[in-house]
Structure 1
Amino acid sequence: MTQINDGVLTILGESIKPGESKEVNFDVANLHTSTPVNVPVIVERSKKPGPTVLFTAGIHGDEVNGVEIVRQLIAKGINKPKCGTIICMPVINIFGFINLKREFPDGRDLNRVFPGSPSGSLAGRVAHKLINQVVPHVDLIIDFHTGGSGRFNAPQLRYSKENKELNDLAKVFGAPFVLYSKNLSKSFRTTCYKLGKPLLLFEGGKSFHIDDVVTNSGVNGSKRILKHLGMLKTVFKSSKPKKACVFINESKWQRAKYSGMFKAAVTMGSHVEKDAILGNITDPYGKFNYFVRASHTGYIINVNESPIVYQGDALFHISTKLKK
């Protein structure tokens, strides 16, 4: 971290001095009922100068496990830094969160409209405000996501390959897996990359679900990062990861060969050998039972937990090539 903020921080129209705590409002538009929508941004500043870290969640309104991770950081006081500044935005897509929808009311995926526009769609305006009024003040971003469409992600970090700074931070964070993935066009991650703002994207769990293992991985990883930066207060303990992080260069989805009722039989995050039984697909009438076998050896980093699948649906995400 290179930037040192030891003066007054002016963010979203509010001025916050070193040592101050303040909740500011990231408001963009009212509901269709004219009801105002408050989107709280919690800012905690130490009197001692240091880096500024931004924790974000809820870019997709149905990804509540990420919201829970940032909520715990706030509720436990982990966001009160020993030095520097910590900014928490637990729910960015408040409109989707209210409606229990992944997208905005205009049908747009917020994570595909960055950097946005001040005169564009509702999602585009939110993206523009985040990029122009919050991101310029920070030195590191940790963005929490979950799997969608019933697919459960093992706790993992995602970022583009060959990034030494993020590799070093990922080892500190200590998630079970790192999945190298290309920066997607118009995503929050890509836009921050172009702005020179390091971002760790955490994936874990599935939509509309809170999982204790995933939550603990996100909270503990955040504490390790803050301790690494000298920002974690001594009252909080930061334990080392139980296992070394597995860095995955390449991975592949294994898809359903048949439609039917599906049940996985493999432990999330486990290492499987080729031809191992991963689950089975049956029909409702007891006449058909197909065993899904691993197409190759690797780690299981995502499992489809939907009870009904169709031919071609993604069932298991399995690593194919690890970083040496």
Structure 2
Amino acid sequence: MDFLNLAQDVVKRAHAAGATDAECTIAEGEEFSANVRMREVENLKEAGSRGAGLRILIGRKTGASYTSDLSEEGIQHLVKSAIELADITTEDPHADLPGVEELGSIPGDLALYSQDVEGLDTALKISTAKRAEEAALSTDPRISNSEGASFDSHLGRHIFANSRGFSGEYRSSYCSLSTVPVARDGECMERDYWYTMARGFAGLESPELVGRTAAQRALRRLNAVKVETQKVPVVFEPRTARSLLDNIFEAVHGMSIYRHESFLAGKLGEKVAVDGLTVIDDATIPGLFGTSPFDDEGVPSRRT
């Protein structure tokens, strides 16, 4: 099925049904997951998905709908639902699509898709997960148990079109490997994990490195000493720092600000962090997971 033509057709149908503007997103994906525990396969899962989302404007009133049924009947219902929802929605003076001059796509290969994920042998996926868990269990006698190891892969396709003349698509892929060993020393029991994730299979850390790292992280938790409450400088490790950044990005999200759901709402121009802190949002770095040629509204990705 030509999904780009379908997205453009959905936009045309919405316009014909009364929408002043419309944008359609179609996503298609294939995913696989292999989970093992204590050297045995626990479960395998393989699934495919596809669906279309439509957002329309009637003046300043917005309606949005979604369907996984891409048949003629399903598309008709998609358009009808969006129109009906817009009819009963309160007007939003800021509701609009990006201007024509803002639309576009980053040229060139952003390394979002790797061929080596296609057709990856199921036996290889299982053995990769088993190797990671085995490496963790073999690291130290105190690694007495495991909550398992997982190998996951995904192939996706993203298609977008709007009523202001922009349409585009791109493919993406990723695979990941993780394991969660359990360490025990007397009555003290702790667990931790490690994972690796890349656009292609060849970009993953070795299963042995993943397993050893997870085991070492679990071992260092054993017999930990509680620190007294105090005010001291703290250095966050990368995965903890990332969780803090997640909260910042959620706070600066345009919709969160608009709805006054963010602690930063109304603080434009005010100092909200220490000197020397710079947060960069760069969706143009090839191969990374926040990268794409254009955003959800058809605006070229950029560094901010």
TM-score normalized with structure 2 length: 0.22
Larger-Rg structure? 2
Larger fraction in helix: 2
TM-score normalized with structure 1 length: 0.21
